[in-house]
Amino acid sequence: MDAGRLTLAQVEQLAARTLVGAGASDMQAASVARSTRLAERDGIRSHGLMYVPIYAEHLRCGKVLGQAVPQVTQPRAGVVRVDAGNGFAHAAIDAGWDRFTASVRALGVAAMALHNSYNCGVLGHHAERLAEEGLVGLCFTHAPASIAPVGGKRPVIGTNPFALAVPDGAGGALLVIDQSASVIAKSEILLHAREGRAINPDWALDADGQPTTDAEAALAGSMRPAGEQKGFGAGLMVEIFAAALAGANLSIEASPFSGPKGGPPATGQFFMGVDPAAFGAAQFGASMDRLAAAITEQEGARLPGARRVANRARIEREGVQVDAALMDRITSA
C-alpha cells in the first residue's frame, strides 16, 4: 500500500497488518485497527495512523503484550471488571462490552472497570458506542502523569479525559463531549514535536515550571490544566474512577505512553452506562431535544461533537491523505 489517499477500509487494513506484524494477535490488532479507522474518519489525526508506529514499537519492546487475552469477571450484578492482561485497552473493552451493556439494560445503571490496560484511543468513541445502543455513556480514562497541580512542578495526574454521549433516539448520538483535563491533548504536543512545530505558550510548562513554545521542552515538563484548579480537579476525578476504583496503576506509577522506556503502563478505564428507559425515556428524549435546540438555534453555536460529524461526511467521501514520511514509519515499524 503506497502513500497517498487511502480509503477508510485501507486505513483499517494497514493498521491491522502492521500490528500483527509487530506481534499482536488478530483479536488485539482488529480492535485497535477499528479505533484507528474511527479516529481518521473523524479527522483526529493524533489518534489515527500516526499512533500505529508507536503501537508497533510498544508491542516489540513489551510495553504492550500483543498476545494478551482479556479476563472478564462480574463480581456484582452492576459491576463488570476486565483485566486487560497488559494488552491493548481496545480489545479488553470489546471483551467486556456485551456483559456490560446487558447489565445496564437489566439494572438501569451499571459500570465496567478495566485494569492492567493501555490507552484506549479516542475516548469519545466508546461513549458514542453506548449512545448508539440507546444508552447514556460516561467514560473515564487516565494516562501517565503529565499535569502538575496548580502551583507545583511535578506531574501527578495524566491528561485524564472524560467523555459523555447521549443517544438521539435514532441509533446515533445527539452529542458527544470529549475533553481532557489539560488545555490540549498530549498527543497534539507529540504531533508538534514530531513535525518540529512550535506550540501555543498556554499549552504547557517546561521542567522549571515556565511557559514554553518548544514542544520537546513541554514533553520534559508538564501540561497546563484547562481552567487551572478546575481542570486539575476534573483530572483528579478521572484519576479516582479510572485508576483508584479500577485497580490500575496511578498516573504517577505508570510508564509513558510514548517511547520504549518502562514496562507496561498498567493504566485503567472506567465506563458507566445509564438506560434512559429506566428513568422515563420519553421525558428524557424530550428534555434533550429542548436542550439541544437551545444551543443550535443560536447562530454560530454547535453541539459538542458536531465538528467530528461534519468531518466524517467529508473524509468518508474523500479518503485519508497519508504522506510518504508517515507511510515509511508505518511500513518500517
DSSP sequence for 264-331: ---EEEEEEEE-GGGT-HHHHHHHHHHHHHHHHTSTT---TTHHHHHHHHHHHHH-EEE-HHHHHHHH
In 77-231 the beta strands, taken as DSSP E runs, fall at: 79-83, 109-117, 136-141, 162-167, 173-179, 204-205, 222-223
Three-class DSSP category at 18: helix
Q: Catalytic annotation on 47?
A: yes
Active-site residue, 125 included: no
Alpha-carbon distance of 48 to 40, in angstroms, equals: 5
Please name the residue that has the C-alpha cell 494478551. Answer: 68
Q: Is 35 a catalytic residue?
A: no
Please identify which of the residues 40, 128, 188, 239 carries the catalytic annotation: 188
Identity of the amino acid at 88: F
CB 52 within 8 A of CB 320: no
Question: What is Dmax (Cα atoms) for the chain?
Answer: 54
Dihedral (C-alpha) 32, 36, 39, 45: value to the nearest 10 degrees? 130
User: What radius of gyration do the chain's Cα atoms show?
Assistant: 19
Tell me how long the chain is: 333
Of 25, 31, 35, 47, which one is the catalytic site residue?
47
CB 117 within 8 A of CB 267: yes
Give catalytic residue positions.
46-47, 188
